[in-house]
Structure 1
Amino acid sequence: MQAWGVSTPYGVRASIAEDRLSWELRLQVSQSPPLADWGFRFGEAVNHLRAALDNLIVAIARQTGVTDEKQLKVLMFPICGTLREWKSRQKALSCLPDWCRQALEQVQPFQRPEHGGSLDQDLLLVLRDLDNTTKHHLQVKPDLAPQSIRHTPAVEFETEEGAAASVPPDVEVVVDSFEDGAVLLRYRTKGRIKSVEGQYNITAQVQAVTPDGRPHGVTDLLEALWEYTRIVMGHVMGAAEQAEEGPEPSC
């Protein structure tokens, strides 16, 4: 995405209406973003994060003596949004040592009932649902996030009266599809426009749509998922280290 962005694939152009009482700033896209490739890479990253959790559980099972390949093949890291769902997974997890099952239970989303599975809530649910979604289809789209649209226009009017009547400016910011010709800004005036000049800086954000229908920045979402996956794995591995050390002697 950075390589595409620095190649200057898009710009802007200003166009004055025929009645010269308004003008628009439109997007010019000379090179469409390779969404299919980005979508594939994003989905692959999500699948790898989910697989890292599954591989951790299989590794623990092997190290603690599980040798049945059929059992290992269906073993996966549980991500449960409800206690009922967690209980339904107990048979599949029965081959794991007690300390491991306890550690897994502690990180389950159902332990935090106030969380609903969105980006700012429980990320394990987001990871699970995204992983299931990306196996079938993935919604990745470039959106014009109005987080950074800086404009310093210089409008020259045909008359001084028209310029005075057009203060303050009537400006509309338009969030449109990221495609050639999309309107970014629309200025309406009460005086006839002679010419328009200026400098513009627009930041576009590539977004992924999570299963709950909300868009998030692709890199922000991946960073959050990676960090939380690391925390969850660290918790389970910490329980493994404590189990190896054994219980502390009682006084």
Structure 2
Amino acid sequence: MDFSDQISRLKRAHQLGAELSAGIHAWGGSSSCSARARIAEDRLSWELQLQVSQPPPLADWGFRFGEAVNHLRAALDNLAVAIARQSGVTDEKQLKAFMFPICGTSKEWKSRQKALACLPDWSRDALEQMQPFQRPEQGGTLEEDLLLALRDLDNSTKHHLQVKPDLTPQTIEHTPAVEFETEEGAAASVPPDTEVLAAPFEDGAVLLRHRTKGRIKSVQGQYSFAAQVQAVLPDGRTFGVTDLLAALCEYVRVVMEHVIGTAEQAEGKSVA
């Protein structure tokens, strides 16, 4: 049984992930964004504002992410089709509609049995062992299952962009040196009253705000912040896009190795 096409798709997904990671790092390492301190007109507060001189290429990142997800899903679907062909299925219409089952419940799995009836017992057993609904019995949760995430992402990336830049406020570091107009104002402003904001990633967004009881003369200091490009699952959960893609690639590899290994045992010989 030849699984070279499926393996090629998995490799292509890895390649797209590497290209995506390189593109994000190149953008982040450029002078595309910075921050500046802005003193309020009444001089009783100052803000650290984001400055974006070069917007992130979201369309390109979204395309690469979506294409990688589609390759991973296709690798699994083609794996199931290859087994069906080897089992004697020749109806091209049936093969075109054949998909690798991804079921979140045992009821859903049972509902797929008619479609999977053309497969040999060993392959149905191998597929069942990797189903998401098995996770709770193995100490995991459905929310953690990567096959469900792959299925949902594959469905949604066909319709809209699935990546966005999202600033993680907890990674903002700033060591300001605030000079006050009077010593009394400086003393009254201790301890500092600082608010870190969940800012959108756009030019002029406020990252943090520092309020004082004395009038500010000037603000200096150093800052650093980290932004993470995130993938958005249809249920609203967000993950680092490169981390999620790497995890999906690895898990699809594990699933494929399990099914292919079972096929080798069933055939009693190596798979081409």
TM-score under structure 1 length normalisation? 0.92
Structure 2: distance between partners of 1:116 and 1:99: 26
Structure 2 equivalent of residue 56 of structure 1: 79
Describe the SS at the equivalent of 1:12.
strand
Letter in 2 for 1:176: A
* 1:242 corresponds to 2:265: yes
Indicate conservation of the 8 Å contact 2:176/2:222, yes or no. yes
* 1:111 aligned to which of 134, 140, 159: 134
Shift of 1:229: 1.0
Structure 2: distance between partners of 1:226 and 1:168: 49
What is the 5 A alignment of 1:120-131?
121-131=144-154
Query: Which whole-Å deviations, capped at 9, do the CAs of 1:51-105 have from their partners, x for residues lacking one?
Result: 1101111122223433332222121100011122111211221221110000001
Structure 1 equivalent of residue 56 of structure 2: 33
What is the 5 A alignment of 1:85-234?
85-113=108-136, 117-118=142-143, 121-234=144-257
Indicate conservation of the 8 Å contact 2:136/2:142, yes or no. no
Structure 2: distance between partners of 1:7 and 1:112: 42
Shift of 1:228: 1.2
* 1:24 corresponds to 2:47: yes
Shift of 1:240: 1.2
Structure 2: distance between partners of 1:60 and 1:222: 26
Structure 2: distance between partners of 1:21 and 1:138: 41
Describe the SS at the equivalent of 1:66.
coil
TM-score under structure 2 length normalisation? 0.85
Structure 1 equivalent of residue 107 of structure 2: 84
> Which consecutive unaligned segments of at least 5 residues does structure 1 have?
247-251
Indicate conservation of the 8 Å contact 2:87/2:118, yes or no. no
Shift of 1:175: 1.1
Letter in 1 for 2:58: L
Indicate conservation of the 8 Å contact 1:26/1:181, yes or no. yes
Indicate conservation of the 8 Å contact 1:117/1:126, yes or no. no
TM-align CA RMSD: 1.6
Structure 1: distance between partners of 2:172 and 2:104: 39
Query: Which whole-Å deviations, capped at 9, do the CAs of 1:121-156 have from their partners, x for residues lacking one?
Result: 111111111111111123321111124211111111
- Comparing 179-188 and 152-161, the one that deviates more: 152-161
* 1:67 corresponds to 2:95: no
Q: Percent identity?
A: 78
Structure 2: distance between partners of 1:94 and 1:43: 31
Structure 1: distance between partners of 2:175 and 2:264: 59
Indicate conservation of the 8 Å contact 1:117/1:124, yes or no. no
Query: How many aligned residue pairs are there?
Result: 244
Query: Which whole-Å deviations, capped at 9, do the CAs of 1:169-213 have from their partners, x for residues lacking one?
Result: 111001111111000010011111110001111111111210111
Structure 1: distance between partners of 2:48 and 2:86: 62
Structure 2 equivalent of residue 249 of structure 1: none
